[in-house]
Amino acid sequence: MKITATRLAMAATVAALGTAALAQELPGPVKARQGQFNILAINLGILGDMARGKAAYDADAAQKAADTIVAVSMINEPPLFPEGTSEMDIDGTRAKAEIWDDWEGFAGKWSGLGEAAVSLQQVAATGQEALGPAVGQLGGACKACHDSFRAPE
Amino acid sequence: MRRLLGFLALVALLATGALWMISAPDPLPMGEFADDPGGDPARGQTVFTAAGCASCHHAPESEDKLVLAGGQRFPSDFGTFIAPNISSHPQQGIGAWSLHDFANALLRGVSPEGRHYYPAFPYTSYIRMEPQDVVDLWSFIRTLPASDTPSQPHEVGFPFSLRRGLGLWKQLYLDPAWIVPGAESDEMRRGRYLVEALAHCGECHTPRDAFGGLERDAWLAGAPAPDGKGRIPALTPDKLGWSAEDVAYYLETGFTPDYDSAGGHMVEVIANFAKLPPEDRAAVAAYVKALPDGGAMN
């Protein structure tokens, strides 16, 4: 009985976390790069919600979020994008093969993120009204890269 | 027996003739858009942005999205379509066209030589364009730089290589009627005009039937990506649980409510929407929020 209950719970967990289960099978570098983008999204969420007035402005929290985004932007990318990990090679990634065809272009886009992150870092604690444009600029850096290098869902 | 064969041959001939007539290109009457009254290029630029012309017609990998040299590839179940040069170059582009030629292309999918265009060019949406927008767009698009890059032929196999067949396709699917009837407010009408005409959202977000026509009963209900990899998401409220403000913010910044950022061709679409006034993004959001579940139209 206990085994059955455990199994049921496991089955339910697997069903509920289908995508998480899939992510478990991804190569380490792919999990790592997806993790860094998740960290970016979480911290952009903190700043974006403040910019949109969905959350109260908090200079200290905004600065920490911006600092974190800068830190992520300094991660060296090549080890996270080994050959054979494009969307053509494996399921569970939206990294287009163009990344490897045009590594220089891709690296340039990552640098663009770094520049936008530093601009954001400089203004994050100066007041709520500065956040909107800076977050927008960072979003521009995301899109500039996704335009060529990220596949749709 | 001989008489029967003769009769059958006659029937076949008549049927072929009828098909040939039905499939003939149906251009605008010569009088329409015959005189170019001269549009407003500034207004035309907004139409150009909302209609996403540059998104498909700029050269691949080009940073300058206003050189409409063509060359981007659009794979589909019917073959690969390659966007043509629509720059102002008189030979390679559309620099020698008249306003009438331009309107025929946009609103009827017919070339100046009287041939059908493939509906990868979304004239099935542009057919709903207001005449003044066509005139203004024409006045703007001619100000853009010329490119001498030749257009490449589409990579489309038999039988889809027979363009005449598109005449039959148009009989089935080229329809100027609005998909969502009865938009009550100015905002809803503007949103509907942007979604159903200029921004041609349905071309990717609505599934297609076996002949490549949009399934109007599943309007904006999401569809497989035309290149066969992944899915284009649904925009209907039963699938997309975003607030109207979330939709407008996404169209401005590319950020989802979870601060994930758009990928693929949607990036270009957002770059366009970001340049439009906030009221336009709000209008699209209002339209999307009012869609029926599953895109079921009556």
Residues listed for chain A? 153
Per-residue pLDDT at A14 exceeds 50: no
Tokens of B145: 């730089």
Which residues touch B89 (CB under 8 Å, ≥6 apart)?
B95, B146, B147, B148
Q: Can you tell me the distance from the alpha carbon of B245 to that of A54, in angstroms, rounded to the nearest whole number?
A: 11
Residue B284, C-beta contacts closer than 8 angstroms, at least 6 positions apart: B191, B194, B195, B199, B247, B248, B251, B273
* A152 vs B contacts (CB less than 8 Å): 225, 230-232, 263-266
Taking contacts as CB-CB distances below 8 angstroms, the residues of chain A near B264 are 146, 150-152
The confidence score (pLDDT) of residue A7 equals 55
What part of A 29-88 touches B (C-beta under 8 Å)? 40-42, 44-45, 48, 52, 87
Task: Find, among B232, B227, B210, the residue nearest to B295 by Cα.
Answer: B232
The amino acid that residue B109 corresponds to is G
Nearest to A142 by CA among A104, A116, A105: A116
Backbone angles phi, psi at B8, to 5 degrees: -60, -40
Q: Bridge partners of B82?
A: B73
Which range, A73-82, A136-145, B177-186, B264-273, has the best average confidence (pLDDT)? Answer: A73-82
Specify the fold of B186-295. Cytochrome Bc1 Complex; Chain D, domain 2 (1.10.760)
Q: What are B279's two structure tokens?
A: 């009221």
- Reported confidence tier of residue A6, pLDDT bands at 50, 70, 90: low
Domain ranges for chain A, please list them: 27-149
| Alpha carbon of B283: minimum distance to chain A alpha carbons (Å) | 19
Structure tokens at B177: 């009627």
Distance of CA B204 to the CA centre of its chain: 10
CB–CB of A48 and B259 under 8 A?
yes
Correct CATH for A27-149 of 3.30.70.360, 1.20.120.10, 3.40.50.2000, 1.10.3720.10: 1.20.120.10
- Whether chain A has a CB inside 8 Å of the CB on B270: the answer is yes
A142 marked among binding-site residues: yes
Extract long-range pairs of B27-33: CB within 8 Å, 24+ residues apart: B27/B104, B27/B108, B27/B110, B27/B114, B28/B100, B28/B103, B28/B104, B28/B107, B28/B108, B30/B100, B32/B100, B32/B103, B33/B99, B33/B100, B33/B102, B33/B103, B33/B104, B33/B131, B33/B134, B33/B135
Nearest to B81 by CA among B91, B71, B89: B71
Across the interface, which of B225, B249, B264 has its CB nearest the CB of A150? B264
Tell whether A29 is in a known binding site. Answer: no
CA distance A79 to B237: 40
pLDDT in tens, chain B (298 residues): 678 888 888 888 888 888 888 888 888 888 899 988 899 999 999 999 999 999 999 998 788 899 999 999 999 989 999 999 999 999 999 999 999 999 999 999 999 999 999 999 999 999 999 999 999 999 999 999 999 999 999 999 988 899 999 999 999 999 999 999 988 899 999 999 999 999 999 999 999 999 999 999 999 999 998 877 778 999 999 999 999 999 999 999 999 999 998 888 899 999 999 999 999 999 999 999 999 999 998 6
Determine the Cα–Cα distance for residues B160 and A4; give it in Å rounded to an integer.
Answer: 57
Residue A105 CA to residue A113 CA, distance in Å, equals 13
Q: How confident is the model at residue A20 (pLDDT cuts 50, 70, 90)?
A: very low
In order of A62, B246, B249, the CA distances from A52 in angstroms are 13, 10, 9
The 3-state secondary structure of B190-227, one letter per residue: HHHHHHHHHCCCHHHHCCECCCCCECHHHCCCCEECCC
Please tell me if residue A98 touches chain B, with a CB cutoff of 8 Å. Answer: no
The β-bridge partners of A54 are none
Q: Binding site annotation covers A145?
A: yes
* Facing B254 at nearest CB: one of A42, A87, A142: A142
Flag whether pLDDT at A21 surpasses 50: no
Contact B261 A148 (CB under 8 A): no
At B262 the pLDDT is 85
pLDDT at residue A15 tops 70: no
> Cβ–Cβ of A136/B253 closer than 8 Å?
yes
Q: Which chain B positions have a beta carbon within 8 Å of A147's beta carbon?
A: 267-268
Strand B79-82 to B223-224 pairing:
unpaired
Count of CB pairs separated by less than 8 Å, A with B = 60
- What's residue B194's pLDDT? 98
pLDDT at A101: 95
Q: Could you tell me which residues are beta bridge partners of residue B255?
A: B261
**How confident is the model at residue A147, as a pLDDT?**
86
Look up the ipTM and state it. 0.75
Residue A69 pLDDT class (50, 70, 90 cuts): very high
Give pLDDT, residue B63: 80
pLDDT given for residue B213 in this prediction: 95
Choice between B204 and A18, residue whose per-residue pLDDT is larger: B204
Backbone phi, then psi, for A150, in 5-degree steps? Answer: -120, 130
Measured from the Cβ of residue B98, the count of other Cβ atoms closer than 10 Å reads: 15
Q: What pLDDT was estimated at residue B7?
A: 83
**Among A142, A106, A40, which residue's Cα sits nearest to residue B267?**
A142
- Residue closest to A113 by CA, chosen among A85, A152, A75: A75
* Residue B167 and residue B22 in contact, taking contact as beta carbons nearer than 8 Å: yes
Task: Of A128, A148, A126, A124, give the one whose Cα is nearest residue A138.
Answer: A124
Best of A120, A137, A146, A149 to disrupt the B interface (most B CBs within 10 Å) is A146
Q: How many CB atoms lie within 10 A of CB A148?
A: 19
Does the CB of A94 have a partner CB in chain B at under 8 Å?
yes
**Chain B hits for A150, Cβ within 8 Å:** 263-264
pLDDT at A23 over 70: no
Q: Which of residues 32-51 of B touch A (CB under 8 A)?
A: none
Over residues A105-124, the pLDDT tens digits come to 999 999 999 999 999 999 99
Q: Between chains, do B231 and A153 touch, taking CB under 8 Å as contact?
A: yes
Residues of B in contact with A142 (CB under 8 A): 254, 261
Mean pLDDT of chain A: 87
